[in-house]
Chains A and B, each alone.
Chain A
Amino acid sequence: MELIKPDINFDFVGKMRIAVLISAAAILISIVSLIAHGGPNWGIDFAGGTVIQAKFQQDVPIDRIRGSLDAVNLGEVTIQQFGARDEHEYLIRTAESTEDLKGLSGRIEDSLAAAFGKDGFEVRRVEVVGPKVGKDLTQKGILAVVFSWIAMLIYIAWRFEFRFAVGGILALVHDTIITVGVLSLLRMEFSLVIVAALLTIIGYSINDTIVIYDRIRENMRKNVRQELAQVVNASINQTLSRTILTVLTVVLVLASILLFGGAVIFDFAFAILVGVLVGTYSSVFIASPIVLAWERVSPSKRKRK
């Protein structure tokens, strides 16, 4: 079976301007969304706070849960259904946390027990993170992402050429910003595993880019006389079949996690899905054209005849 005809010759390079416009718009929207929302929707891993995941015997109105917690002075509490409806699970979160040994979570549990009875619910997960930890983590997360960009830059510059590295890294920055933007638009929580997802996306997206670069390098050696633009376009077309197949298989396994992996891992898989789609697009439309653009600005020393 073939999804992509072997003799396909789509003009990717010609669509470069449109692609750059689309990407610029997407990045702009991402940044505007981030500014409008005052940054990502930091989860307790970064902002500090308390999360309790409780499973109730039956469906309970959220207002009743909220009411039962009035006695505990929690400040702003958000309560939401978690996972499938028939599981009667709820997430209770607050920005408050205490360093005190008794802890907020204990008081919340006591209040729930008073309202619903000791057997009316089960506390399945408790997470309490102090503000100090979050601050450390934010810094570590940003450093991890930035250093991974730099590491990729060095590796590609070493294996290929510097202009390839620039294209690859700009595509990575592009993917990271847009993924964070999409999460921000959907008001999804930005937690520890989201940073893990971002790093995974960086690893995946560069994969795609390298496959195309590899082909460009090969074709450049084969057809020394050909215009670089033509080489790039041909290379993208030749690897297009692989690009689409791989993104399909990765989307298949991600779908499997999204549908069957449960609510705890859903956000993680979703972020990777967004990143993989954006990453595939950027490998084709952003990373390779940048190599071309770089060539126009500062032609490589090995003059092509």
Chain B
Amino acid sequence: MFQSIKLRVLIAAVVVIASAYFLLPSVVPELPASVKNLFLKNRIHLGLDLQGGMHLVLEVDTAKALEGTVERLANSLKDGLMEKRVRFRGVERRADNTIAIELPNREARADLEKVLAEQFPDLEIQSADLVDGREKVVLRLREKRVADMKKTIVDQSLETIRNRVDQFGVTEPEIIPQGDDRILIQLPGVKDPKRAIDLIGKTALLEFKLVDEEHSLEEALRGNVPAGSILMKGAREGGERTGTRRDTWYLLKERTLLTGQSLENAQVKISDRFGEPYVAIKFNSQGARDFDRITGENVNRRLAIILDGAVYSAPVIKERISGGDAQITGAFTTEEARDLAIVLRAGSLPAPVKILEQRTVGPSLGQDSIDKGIRSVIIGMILVGVFMVFYYRLSGFVAILALVLNIVILLGAVALFDATLTLPGIAGIVLTIGMAVDANVLIFERAREELRLGKTPRAAIEAGYARAFLTILDTNVTTLLAAVFLFQFGTGPVKGFAVTLSIGIVASMFTAIFVTRIIFDYVTWNRKIKALSI
């Protein structure tokens, strides 16, 4: 196998040069554009722990979104039953997203089932009990339907968040679904994590409701909320965050007249009179028609603008508003107004989200980690190198050469495969140095043994490589096995470690066995040396 030294040198050179080619853009960051185009690969992708940024795992509260659907179904079921003259008492949505319905007798059940089959294919009967001669039926959504809806909700959330992040302006964001109802978001280089979370996680459900002016707010606050009305808090009091802690309350008509779904656009504007930013919204054609009708019917009444269950403002409608333009004011900072415009443009999330995991690394810590990581690689390398030369003399230099090439190939492969380099990944490189040298130690020790038995340098080298090869293979396969489990288990940084460790091991097989052998063969074949410096 590979008798020709020339051929082997050629192979080694091609591999090393190819690696250097992929690696160069990372080592020399400021390349002129014309030169840059010669390279296929960009810089090595750094993990969030090295370049700074935010890692978020969100859980979409699909149950919450289903509540709305079940509520709507319960209402239309009520209508459907009345239409078909089926007698019933009370249809209500229960907390576990089932619908409880009471029928006067068992016979009515057949009628109910008929209505269900004709108009509500999504509902099925979960249980039915005869209590005091009355039939109590519990309905639930069909499982398959629930699964479909959940999937749609998560997909929509993903799309909306993607939209928002794109408009926020983050380079190379990563937004991917995880499991059934989770979303993983990676935002490199985010400087203001709080703002980013707010922007991503806000449900941004915009609603317009009339203020209930026929009933007394004080009475409602005392607990007597009139039917068809609800109490809602104001978004902020006195226009200032630091103002008095007293909440402002509004008594609103329960019915929602219009939602953010009717929006076409939202933009930040600065008011002429006070120089305060506000968000100008424009309805789509249907929304504009609705808004025209609503304002026309309710002149001189107050219309509340609600975002995520808090009233932002409740201006008096002075006249019919045609054309579909409106504005949301509320003592915003420019940044807040800008973010609000973004979320309104991107649309609301179909369900609220919760933060399961948040990890943020500031850019200065990332740079620190890079510096310290590189330092420990270099020092580790020097320590091992000195030790190897001290112990194996000239052969030690061959091992060092193998180590250096190993790192070049390792990093070149990381760039080639677009793998992510993380801080544990750098530790993986350092560890690879320690482990890669093991292959050479095995070979050298074996060669020494053979020399002691009186073999010639050439025969000793031959035997050293031959005997050690299988051992090296076995040890490396087991380490690779461990790395595979590591990769399976790990999240970002740990995965990076598994990647560099695996590539490093494979590269070490090449450098520590194939490359070093060329040198030893050259020396022992062509130079006819009497003693090996090992």
A positions within 8 Å CB-CB of B: 1, 3, 6, 53, 55, 98-101, 103, 105-106, 109, 122-130, 132-133, 140-141, 143-145, 147-148, 151-152, 155-156, 159, 192-193, 195-196, 199-200, 202-204, 206-207, 210-211, 214, 218, 238-239, 241-242, 245-246, 248-250, 252-257, 259-262, 264-265, 268-269, 272
Contact = CB atoms under 8 A, between A and B. Distances in A.
Given A101-B355, A148-B481, A200-B486, A249 B441 contact: yes
Nearest to B61: A99
A256 B356 contact: no
A113 B134 CA distance: 64
Given A99-B354, A257-B376, A199 B197 contact: no
A6 B452 contact: yes
B365 interface: yes
Contacts of A6: 448-449, 452
B194 A204 contact: no
Contacts of B375: 260-261
Contacts of A151: 481, 485
Interface in B470-512: 470-471, 474-475, 477-483, 485-486, 488-491, 493-494, 497-498, 501
Given A144-B486, A196-B424, A101 B380 contact: no
Contact of B485 (A105, A147, A206, A211): A147
Nearest to A242: B445
Contacts of B448: 6
Contacts of B449: 6, 238
A256 B364 contact: no
A196 B494 contact: yes
A219 B49 CA distance: 49
Interface stretch (B72-80, B247-255, B431-439): B431-439
6 contacts: A1-B392, A124-B364, A246-B437, A261-B427, A262-B373, A264-B369
B485 A125 contact: no
Interface SS, A side = helix
Contacts of B365: 53, 124-125, 264
- Per DSSP, chain B at the interface is helix
Interface in B152-197: 193-194, 197
Contacts of B481: 148, 151-152, 155, 203
Interface stretch (B97-105, B314-322, B382-390): B382-390
Interface centre among A132, A140, A152, A260 (most CB of B within 10 A): A260
Nearest to B197: A101
B371 to A, nearest CB: 9
Contacts of B362: 122-125
Interface in B342-359: 354-359
A151 B486 CA distance: 13
Contact of B478 (A144, A155, A253): A155
B485 A144 contact: yes
Contacts of A103: 194, 197, 355, 358
A9 to B, nearest CB: 15
Given A99-B354, A253-B434, A257-B427, A192 B361 contact: no
A207 B424 contact: no
Nearest to A239: B445
B486 A252 contact: no
B465 to A, nearest CB: 15
A14 to B, nearest CB: 24
